[in-house]
């Protein structure tokens, strides 16, 4: 597991104590979160937890919801599908768990649908960190998405690439539901423009073994490469591709942390990388929700830095809290689901999220950022 900050270690230790029953009482509103706190997505998992926690802490500091405190319980699935299923079943077997929040992984969450885990539990899953189309179509009533899907991200990146006059486009992807969802999105976006992929090369999930992908894509002479991959394999690909002399324009889907990529691959290699984003720029000060996020991050997690992942889950936490408020003083899982689907054009502070009985796609926002020469993201 990647080394955590002091705040991160203390927070995770406290959350573990919560799971052991040491810091809480039965009347709390218990939110279950399964997150990858170990393995290739460990740094992302930590940021996901931070984003929710700072908002839940702020609500508790104001007296909670209808006088009841929120308790965020986090368990680690290591980004492993079977563990996600097992841990979710355990959470949902406990009546006090009122909702689920911020899971990660298209394949992980898809398996929950395949095995009927969410349906059997009857609880809403709010703001999962995935854009997988299999979680959006066909419609299911249990997952309330805050982010746009990977198809929308792929369309946006292909639009940018083709506008720049590039027609030879390759994809490096994680060989699972997540990677294949993004790959299909790119293929569909190219088909709309009467283009075909120059190459598609996968790598095995939970590894950074990308050597063969580098070779295959280098041989294709692609002008642009879209990566559907997480931090470590993305960094490995960028580093190996650039050091092998590859000069194509590089893009990555939104699930990566640019600071982590720079750390692992080196700024020289990562400079110029385009990254699609599904929430607005969290480093500015224009939107009220961004200012609130920055303020609460500084107050409740002073060792943590601003980033897209924790900001996305912060927005998701605001959505969940509003759903809990609307569910009333004695919420049930069913009441929370009904309350969330009543949120039409809910303004989180400059980001509007909309649900209905037939819609769980809260937002379709996408834009592309670029890693600058200093390693920071530019719009």
Integer-rounded Cα radius of gyration of the chain: 20
Average pLDDT of the segment spanning 13-19: 47
The closest alpha carbon to 30, from 92, 109, 104, belongs to 92
pLDDT of residue 9 exceeding 80:
no
Q: What's the pLDDT tens digit per position in 107-140?
A: 999 999 999 999 999 999 999 999 998 899 899 9
pLDDT of residue 4: 47
pLDDT of residue 20 exceeding 70:
no
Residue 219's Cβ-side half-sphere holds a number of Cα atoms within 13 Å equal to 9
Cβ-count burial of 116 within 10 angstroms (0-12 exposed, 13-18 middle, 19+ buried)?
exposed
- Lowest mean pLDDT segment, chosen from 5-9, 26-30, 245-249: 5-9
End-to-end CA distance of the chain: 31
Q: Spell out where the chain has E strands.
A: 29-35, 70-76, 97-101, 125-126, 143-144, 169-174, 199-203, 224-228, 249-252, 274-277, 346-347, 352-353, 367-371, 377-378
pLDDT of residue 40: 86
pLDDT of residue 26 exceeding 70:
no
Predicted structure pTM score: 0.88
Q: Spell out where 1-49 has E strands.
A: 29-35
pLDDT of residue 134: 87
pLDDT of residue 63: 96
- The model's confidence at residue 15, banded by pLDDT at 50, 70 and 90, is low
pLDDT of residue 16 exceeding 50:
no
pLDDT of residue 120: 97
Average pLDDT of the chain?
92
Q: What's the pLDDT tens digit per position in 46-69?
A: 999 999 999 999 999 999 999 999
Average pLDDT of the segment spanning 212-235: 96
pLDDT of residue 17: 41
Tell me what percent of the residues of the chain surpass a pLDDT of 70.
93
CA distance 146 to 150: 13
Average pLDDT of the segment spanning 178-188: 94
pLDDT of residue 315 exceeding 90:
yes
Domains of the chain in start order, with CATH, are 6-148+285-353 (3.40.50.2300), 150-277 (3.40.50.2300)
pLDDT of residue 8: 55
pLDDT of residue 99 exceeding 80:
yes
pLDDT of residue 22 exceeding 60:
no
Q: What's the pLDDT tens digit per position in 323-348?
A: 999 999 999 999 999 999 999 999 99
Beta bridge partners of 377: 371
pLDDT of residue 141 exceeding 70:
yes
CB–CB of 29/71 below 8 Å?
A: yes
214: part of which helix (H) or strand (E)? helix 211-220
- The model's confidence at residue 18, banded by pLDDT at 50, 70 and 90, is very low
pLDDT of residue 24: 39
pLDDT of residue 135: 93
pLDDT of residue 2 exceeding 60:
no
Q: Is 164 helix (H, G, I), strand (E, B) or coil?
A: coil
pLDDT of residue 188: 96
pLDDT of residue 5: 52
The closest alpha carbon to 150, from 101, 108, 188, belongs to 188
Average pLDDT of the segment spanning 76-88: 97
Q: pLDDT higher for 12 or 363? A: 363
CA angle 302, 303, 305 (to 5 degrees): 90
Q: What's the pLDDT tens digit per position in 261-296?
A: 999 999 999 999 999 999 999 999 999 999 999 999
pLDDT of residue 133: 87
């Amino acid at each position: 597991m990647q080394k955590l900050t002091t705040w991160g270690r203390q927070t995770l230790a406290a959350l573990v104590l919560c799971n052991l029953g040491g810091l809480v009482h039965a009347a709390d509103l218990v939110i279950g979160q399964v997150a990858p706190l170990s393995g290739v997505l460990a740094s992302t998992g930590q940021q996901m937890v931070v984003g929710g926690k700072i908002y839940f802490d702020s609500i508790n500091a104001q007296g909670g919801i209808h006088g009841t405190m929120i308790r965020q319980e986090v368990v680690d699935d290591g980004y492993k599908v079977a563990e996600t299923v097992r841990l979710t079943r355990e959470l949902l077997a406990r009546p006090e768990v009122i909702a689920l929040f911020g899971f990660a992984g298209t394949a992980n969450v898809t398996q929950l649908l395949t095995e009927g885990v969410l349906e059997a539990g009857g609880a809403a899953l709010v703001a999962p960190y995935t854009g997988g189309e299999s979680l959006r179509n066909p419609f299911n009533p249990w997952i309330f998405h805050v982010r746009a899907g990977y198809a929308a991200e792929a369309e946006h990146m292909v639009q940018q690439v083709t506008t720049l006059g590039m027609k030879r486009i390759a994809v490096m992807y994680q060989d699972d539901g997540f990677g294949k969802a993004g790959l299909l999105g790119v293929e569909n976006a190219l088909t709309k423009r009467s283009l075909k992929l120059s190459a598609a090369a996968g790598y095995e999930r939970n590894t950074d073994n990308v050597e063969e992908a580098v070779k295959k894509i280098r041989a294709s002479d692609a002008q642009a490469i879209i990566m559907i991959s997480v931090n470590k394999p993305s960094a490995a690909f960028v580093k190996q591709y650039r050091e092998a002399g590859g000069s194509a324009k590089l893009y990555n889907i939104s699930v990566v942390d640019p600071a982590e990529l720079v750390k692992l691959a080196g700024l020289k290699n990562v400079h110029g990388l385009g990254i699609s984003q599904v929430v607005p720029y969290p480093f500015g000060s224009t939107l009220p929700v961004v200012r609130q996020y920055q303020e609460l991050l500084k107050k409740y997690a002073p060792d943590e830095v601003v980033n897209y992942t924790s900001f996305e889950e912060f927005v998701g936490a605001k959505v969940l809290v509003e759903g809990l408020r609307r569910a009333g003083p004695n919420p049930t899982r069913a009441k929370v689901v009904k309350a969330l689907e009543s949120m039409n054009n809910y303004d989180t502070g400059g980001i509007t999220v909309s649900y209905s009985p037939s819609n769980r796609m809260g937002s379709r926002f996408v834009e592309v950022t670029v890693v600058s020469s200093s390693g920071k993201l530019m719009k």
